[in-house]
Chains A and B, each alone.
Chain A
């Protein structure tokens, strides 16, 4: 009897310790209602290289609504609930390309300390003017096609802006977090955050024009869904 009790206690302790090993996945959709501002055509005439790179007129990317009324380029991440935990920064860089006088991707996530590899694929001069408020501002000239530079962020910050002073229509935003639980919506307006340990969290969706919306979620080992809706 005594032994059985001991054994049970051992088992339950084991279970408790190993519980965080089971992790949940959060998925969701970012919907859009109302009318979005009409995208404006960008005039790239000032730089023939930019103008020559496109046959179709280029539009501003401030609000991109997918055909199924979902929103592209929304940064979804765990805002609170991970305090006290540390996640080593990946060494593989996040690539941000300057191609056809656009930043690609337009919105991306990166962990504090993880390198952002900035590439210039154009045959014209770009300057990457990073204007984070929590990390040091930088402004790098990239005159040579194929050039690559690495930069890191020192502190978490959502919506750290990048701009090109040579081509004022170019801008991009980085969601800098101190953990790997983030995602950016694409053409289908969906996101997926994997391997989130069970627990209670605040999830935030951030859009460059409409700002942030939050939601409380509880993660168990089952898959979770959390949708967001922005209104124009």
Chain B
């Protein structure tokens, strides 16, 4: 027996191993291919195809229902009749068709012969000209002869071509006659069923078939799949991958398949059309998807094509739960750009729309920005590019206005005295409500009051010269227009200025009287304008406002100050400046008053009071809040969530911070000095939401300049004006720039409301406007509301005049005079002026005892105030320029009631009236205003 040859391996076992391994590998491969091929988005695309098919099916049915069946039937009959006719003449038609073919051939033949000869002729002509030029007389003569011979032949051929074409056309026409009826019916039918055919074609293209499935099959889907990733590549925008920047790619449309289509408003998500196709996505909108993509506004990871990894953000808790269930959604904690929740989507507008007071069509963002101005956010928090002004009153002369005790009571909780105040509560909040903190805060408050009074200048005060009548004061206050800015007497149109309540518990008659007479005397930086009140008016209003008192507030107990707390607080502040031993020494050298003053100064600095109020000693101190210029793109990890259970995203944190600024101290062990300091504004949820949107809009965005909404010079001037108009609350009284004057909502007789000044730029002369804003004077003497004097600087005046002119797109005009009109126009103007009885309402001298609406501006002012071209437009039809005006049109249906003047031409008559007004004098007014003794008047006398 031969010895068994040694074997390195067992062939059988090896084969088994191999088989097993290859099966495993194959399975692995199949798994990989499947994993690669099964994608969420393919499911959406299939679903969308099904959805579109169903929709198309419905559309086919609707289109079918719309077809006029009777007409269709009739056309069918026509078609069939025509067909029978054709059959009857089959023989002739065949003959004619043959003939047409023959003639067509004939045409071609003759045309070719003609063209051939023409080419020969062209060539001969070239040689003839060339030879002649080179003085080859003989050759030239030969060519000339040939040309002469060709000419008649060519003419003959041309004629033949025309003849052939004519007979072909004729035969064709004969043929057409037979076929016309059928063709016509066919075309009509096609027209009638056009929609159906279109939808049917679409339906056909959406039908699944074997080839499509094959091309979408794994391994083959690289060829030409019907399901594929859809994307836009944005030339001008970039994605930041930390170390690399690449062109932005948005694949959102892979699943959001109907986003750019009209008519899918009711489709299920994600196939719904964009709700604002007029503004976004569609090609004819200002933000087409090809240029702007999706993620530049919505955020999220545009190159992903999976619900979770694109970093969708739910807009509330309910949606979050729903998503978790439906899509296995989880937060992409480390995604740099999560999608912005839809409720804050407007925040993205500010990436490109800068330098405007309001971003068009972004009400929430605009409201947020307005609130930030109103609450004075910009006073503590720097935001680059935002103009800021101190929103609180100046305290430089506060001792002339307030008692020290009042300040203490006020600081405890401003809302206790005046619930509508915009001054936030600084002390005794959630993180400083423990007993120790309350005691310390009481000392800080006393200190601040001491410091403010001790470091205040004083102004001379006037006393009301008469006692004043409170009843009259109340009426005058409302009539003069104070409610345009202030809430008072329970009437609120505006929260621009402070509510005028309980002033009797706050200020003295002398201070209030002096303030009312000239606000800038007490505070040169105040935004309150002067209403040029008479002594009597100011006395009446002072008396009235001081009748309202808050007894509870006045008698509330002042907090008890413990000496040890004073020392403790002073020492803590001193130790921040020097060594503890020196601090102790320093403290010993101070008396109680000095200690309080020192604590006051330090507390003002610590709490940032000087950010909103002008306070002596803090002229150059930097504001205390965090800079917010790029807050909207701040790393979430840099926001201190403390122990508060919140979604870890910016929006939630901002909202919480705004609603309850000190909440993040909860559960923390901090000293009194280290506690959070942002004060409590008591915002409503809505306000906090708007402000959150605004905060999210403060982003560091890499958007190239050409993608920004760049303002031209005029637009920039308008924006500058808008800011000033907002700062001074012009729209509190006036309707202008698309905003209704707020006081109108509480004005009973709109004839007595401040004038609507839409179109002011077109209406008045710029010089006049400049002068009027500088020194306002009554234009409408029957109005009780009074245009205040704002003491504008020349720059501000120019800004406002430019604003009005640019709003109306009128070029600056230096033309005040109007060329002297011809005598004919003057005479016509005079006649029209008298016959239209203009003076009846436009009196040169106002008459007492008449209703407000009885009067109109004095026309003597017209030539220096109005633009001549505006006057004509106004006269033609005042309602067009100002809807609801009391000025009637005298040319109903463009017809003049006086057909004899200037041929009855209403435009010419308007011009004549304007011309007359430019020559109108006080003497003329007096003559016309003399009441002519009328018959009727004579009757009453007798």
A residues bordering B, Cβ < 8 Å?
43, 45-49, 51-53, 55, 123-125, 127-129, 137-144, 147, 149, 165-166, 168
Contacts and interface: CB of A to CB of B under 8 A. Distances in A.
A49 B938 CA distance: 10
A52 B837 contact: no
B888 A165 contact: yes
A141 B934 CA distance: 21
A49 B888 contact: no
A168 B897 CA distance: 23
Contacts of A138: 879, 892
Given A137-B883, A143-B837, A52 B888 contact: no
Contacts of A52: 934-940
Contact of B897 (A51, A53, A127, A143): A143
B883 A51 contact: no
30 contacts: A46-B854, A47-B840, A48-B936, A49-B937, A51-B937, A52-B936, A123-B936, A124-B837, A124-B840, A125-B836, A125-B840, A127-B888, A129-B886, A139-B878, A139-B886, A140-B888, A140-B889, A140-B892, A141-B836, A141-B888, A141-B890, A143-B835, A143-B836, A143-B837, A143-B890, A143-B897, A144-B898, A147-B897, A166-B841, A168-B850
A139 B940 contact: no
Main secondary structure on chain A at its contact with chain B? Answer: loop
Interface in B824-866: 835-837, 840-841, 847, 849-851, 853-854
B884 interface: yes
Nearest to B939: A52
Interface string B60-76: 00000000000000000
Q: Contact residue range for chain B?
A: 20 to 34
B420 interface: no
Contacts of A43: 849
B936 A168 contact: no
A184 to B, nearest CB: 26
Nearest to B891: A141
Given A52-B935, A125-B840, 6 more contacts: A46-B849, A48-B937, A125-B837, A139-B878, A139-B885, A144-B898
A144 B940 contact: no
Contacts of A46: 847, 849-850, 854
Contacts of A147: 897
B887 A139 contact: yes
A168 B837 contact: no
Q: Which 10 A-B pairs have the closest CB atoms?
A: A52-B936, A141-B888, A127-B888, A125-B837, A168-B851, A165-B886, A141-B890, A139-B888, A48-B937, A143-B836
B889 A141 contact: yes
Interface string B865-905: 00000000000001100011111111010000110000000
Nearest to A131: B884
B886 to A, nearest CB: 4
A171 to B, nearest CB: 12
Contacts of A168: 850-851, 853-854
B266 interface: no
Given A48-B934, A123-B936, A137-B884, A165 B879 contact: no
Contacts of B935: 52
B884 A165 contact: no
A142 B939 CA distance: 24
B854 A149 contact: no
B531 to A, nearest CB: 27
Nearest to A52: B936
Contacts of B934: 48-49, 52, 123
A46 B878 CA distance: 25
B931 interface: yes
Contacts of A48: 931, 934, 936-937
A47 B931 CA distance: 9
A48 B938 CA distance: 10
A53 B934 CA distance: 11
Contacts of B936: 48-49, 51-53, 123
B835 A144 contact: yes
Interface string B671-696: 00000000000000000000000000
Among B878, B883, B890, B931, chain A packs the most CB atoms within 10 A around the CB of: B890
Nearest to A50: B936
A148 to B, nearest CB: 10
Contacts of B836: 125, 141, 143
A138 B886 CA distance: 10
A124 B840 CA distance: 9
Contacts of A51: 936-937, 940
Contacts of B889: 139-141
A165 B890 contact: no
A45 B850 CA distance: 9
B845 to A, nearest CB: 13
Contacts of A125: 836-837, 840
Nearest to B751: A165
A128 B889 CA distance: 10
Interface string B346-384: 000000000000000000000000000000000000000
Contacts of A143: 835-837, 890, 897
Nearest to A120: B897
Contacts of B879: 137-139
A190 to B, nearest CB: 35
Interface string B624-647: 000000000000000000000000
A126 to B, nearest CB: 9
A139 B751 CA distance: 15
A51 to B, nearest CB: 6
A127 B897 CA distance: 13
Contacts of B887: 139
B871 to A, nearest CB: 16
B841 A165 contact: yes
Contact of B854 (A123, A128, A166): A166
A104 B561 CA distance: 79
A42 to B, nearest CB: 11
Contacts of A124: 837, 840
B880 to A, nearest CB: 11
Contacts of A53: 936
A51 B851 CA distance: 16
Contacts of B888: 127-129, 139-142, 165
Interface string B242-278: 0000000000000000000000000000000000000
B234 to A, nearest CB: 48
Interface string B914-942: 00000000000000000100111111100
Contacts of A165: 841, 853-854, 886, 888
